[in-house]
Chains A and B, each alone.
Chain A
Amino acid sequence: MKRMSKDFHVRYENYALEDFLADDFFIQWVKNPRPESEYFWKSWLAKHPEKTAIITRAKTIVSSVNYKNHQVPSEDEYIETLEKIHKTYLQKTLQKETGTKRYFRSLLKYAASIMLLIATGSLGWILYDKYNSTRLSDRNNQPTEYRTKATDKGQKSTVVLADGSAVKLNAQSQIRFPEKFEPHVREVFLEGEAFFDVKEDAERPFIIRTGEITTKVLGTSFNIKANPNGHKIQVTVVSGKVQVNSGAKDQDASLTSAVLLPSEMLTFYPAEEKIVKEKVATHDFVAWKDGILVFKKATFKEVISELEAWYGVEISVNEIPADRRFSGEFNKMSLESVLKGIGFSLGFEYVIEGKTVKIRVF
């Protein structure tokens, strides 16, 4: 640059409009200004202020060269194509992976951020887990070293994985993860409920095995819940887009498939192989991670077991009224205040004695 700048300075002094219009260096500056060309033309113009007008004219003319048939895509075309790209990409990578282990094609996410909430039966998880761990050790000559982190009632815990991803475990949950991830996949096993903040790594998808479903992500955050008594799997999307495929374990074909958009929840009933999709308020499903206890038309029984898990207490009840339901939110409140609030609307008295609570319904 320095070498030529002196010649250039002189060279351009006698340039007419048409000369600029045909000059490579000038045109490259107009089209792709770079620090060095910016510097050159700025200092040249500072030296030759009388040339400002001609430079401006030449610039305008060069910039006006355009396609006669200039086609502009619509906003819809822009979005739709982007969605198709993600969808096709996920399908293709999934096909590649499931070529050998295609037994439960699952949830895929592809967006900057995503939140998933999944609830499923634990029995299914145990069976699956056994099946899966034998399969895993078959596949690897060197068995992967796994670690387990579990929480009790009333506990929450955070685990940082080998790749830097963070997992926030809710009460009565368990996560099993390798000390070191395999080269092409990051795979963990979850029981209970957890909020994931996954580090982006497109080359190594992050896979969470939970009961009968597999959640596959390429990065970012979501929530998974394995409800101990549930006979269903739930996936709730807060943002982004998720593809859910489900099928019988030992069969290749996926039986059902659905695409979920933000605020949509999919409930999968394994026994009937039935899928229900609905709109939900996602906040209710992920608030726990911020210490907010949420009830939405919860039955008496659900309220009791949730409180037991949340506060780590044993609750005894004289009777369970089947017809009473409770909705409400408690933001980091003590058991005492929560019981007071719920007791008022559900109609019960309570006594707290250390780690046990006695409830008398009236």
Chain B
Amino acid sequence: MKALKADFKRSSGELEDDEKKAVSQERSEFEHQEDVSIWKEFKKGNESAFNFIYERYFAILYNYGCQFTKDRELVKDHIQDLFVDLKIKRSKLGDTTSIKFYLFKSLKRKILRALGKTNYLVYDKNAYKNYDFEIVLSHESHLIHSQLDIEVKEKLEEIFKKLTKRQKEAILYYYHEGLSYKEIASLMNFSRVEYARMLISRAKARLRKEIRNLKDVFLAILPMIVSILYR
């Protein structure tokens, strides 16, 4: 049974790889390139670099935009607008080491402006009322989690749930989008990078403390469980 399972896993894994290969064949040119060089190619007028950027970021931007508003049409309109702008200003654009950050920054500005938050630079509690930016720790991963890890995830979700909207936004940039503190600070209009770091650090400190406790509890009751089982 074990061997069979392993075999199955391997063959399905190979299949996945083959599929991926077929899909990405056309864009393999940029697949492993750094953002800097993809961006340079795009600025030079390379149409396939544009297509690659669109393909890679459309769904990401779509989801991102949908965190600010439920109006999907508005989100799509502004993604469209964003890419049209990029194409028009193509040769005049600056360099970027993170295309994702560049796109996020522009899209957020466009959407907030459209939502009537002309003064979006100023922190406005009401402005965040319609924000989504709720966090989940997905369980759909193909990896098998130990009971402990499931508890860790639940604990994290609980911790994240208690955060403010802005902290949640920052956490998603940090853990999901993989953005740097500098990028997060810029996206959230912090005047100093340190503020972004602080915001996230506080959540992280809680996370460390609570998970440690969790494990202590788990380890404490483990001998009990074992003794019950072996009685």
**What residues of A have a CB within 8 angstroms of the CB of B174 in the complex?**
27
Interface string of B65-88 (1 = CB under 8 A from A): 011000010001001100110011
Query: Which A69-110 residues have C-beta < 8 A from chain B?
Result: 69-73, 77-78, 80-82, 84-85, 88-89, 92-93
**What residues of A have a CB within 8 angstroms of the CB of B193 in the complex?**
none
Does A18 lie within 8 Å of B212, measured CB to CB? yes
Query: Which A18-75 residues have C-beta < 8 A from chain B?
Result: 18-19, 21-22, 27-28, 30-32, 56-57, 60-73
Query: Which B92-142 residues have C-beta < 8 A from chain A?
Result: 132-139, 141
**What residues of B have a CB within 8 angstroms of the CB of A65 in the complex?**
135, 137, 156, 171-172, 175-176
Of A123-131, A199-207, A229-237, A276-284, the stretch lying at the interface with chain B is: A199-207
Does A89 lie within 8 Å of B46, measured CB to CB? no
A67 CB to nearest B CB, Å:
6
Does A203 lie within 8 Å of B153, measured CB to CB? no
Cα distance A103–B132 in the bound complex, in angstroms: 49
Which of B67, B80, B171, B177 has most chain A Cβ within 10 Å? B80
Q: Which of A18, A78, A202 contacts B87 (CB 8 A)?
A: A202
| B201 to chain A: closest residue by CB | A22
Interface size class for chain A?
35 or more
Interface string of B31-68 (1 = CB under 8 A from A): 00000000000000111100100100011001100110
- Asked if A202 meets B90 with Cβ closer than 8 Å, knowing A18-B207, A27-B175, A67-B176, the reply is yes
Does A81 lie within 8 Å of B63, measured CB to CB? no
Q: Which of A28, A68, A71, A200 contacts B178 (CB 8 A)?
A: A28
Which of B72, B87, B152 has most chain A Cβ within 10 Å? B87
**What residues of B have a CB within 8 angstroms of the CB of A136 in the complex?**
none
Cα distance A219–B47 in the bound complex, in angstroms: 9
Does A61 lie within 8 Å of B156, measured CB to CB? yes
| B205 to chain A: closest residue by CB | A22
Query: Which A144-172 residues have C-beta < 8 A from chain B?
Result: none
A42 CB to nearest B CB, Å:
17
Does A67 lie within 8 Å of B63, measured CB to CB? yes
Does A112 lie within 8 Å of B47, measured CB to CB? yes
B164 at the interface (CB under 8 A from A): no
**What residues of B have a CB within 8 angstroms of the CB of A30 in the complex?**
178
Query: Which B130-182 residues have C-beta < 8 A from chain A?
Result: 132-139, 141, 143, 145-146, 149, 152-153, 156, 171-172, 174-178, 180
Q: Which of B45, B87, B91 contacts A85 (CB 8 A)?
A: B87
A17 at the interface (CB under 8 A from B): yes
Query: Which A200-233 residues have C-beta < 8 A from chain B?
Result: 200-203, 218-219
| B152 to chain A: closest residue by CB | A61
Does B45 lie within 8 Å of A69, measured CB to CB? no
B208 at the interface (CB under 8 A from A): yes
Does A69 lie within 8 Å of B134, measured CB to CB? yes
Query: Which B195-218 residues have C-beta < 8 A from chain A?
Result: 204-205, 207-208, 211-212, 215
Cα distance A31–B183 in the bound complex, in angstroms: 14
**What residues of A have a CB within 8 angstroms of the CB of B45 in the complex?**
200-203
Cα distance A71–B64 in the bound complex, in angstroms: 8
| B176 to chain A: closest residue by CB | A65
Does B153 lie within 8 Å of A82, measured CB to CB? no
**What residues of A have a CB within 8 angstroms of the CB of B149 in the complex?**
57, 60-61
Does A67 lie within 8 Å of B132, measured CB to CB? yes
- Asked if A64 meets B141 with Cβ closer than 8 Å, knowing A31-B177, A200-B45, the reply is yes
**What residues of A have a CB within 8 angstroms of the CB of B208 in the complex?**
18-19, 21-22
Cα distance A56–B144 in the bound complex, in angstroms: 11
Q: List 21 A-B contacts (CB under 8 A).
A: A16-B212, A17-B211, A17-B215, A22-B205, A27-B175, A32-B178, A57-B146, A61-B137, A61-B153, A67-B132, A67-B133, A68-B132, A70-B136, A72-B62, A73-B76, A88-B80, A89-B88, A92-B84, A93-B88, A112-B51, A202-B87
Across chains A and B, which 3 residue pairs bring their CB atoms closest together, nearest first? A31-B178, A68-B134, A65-B175
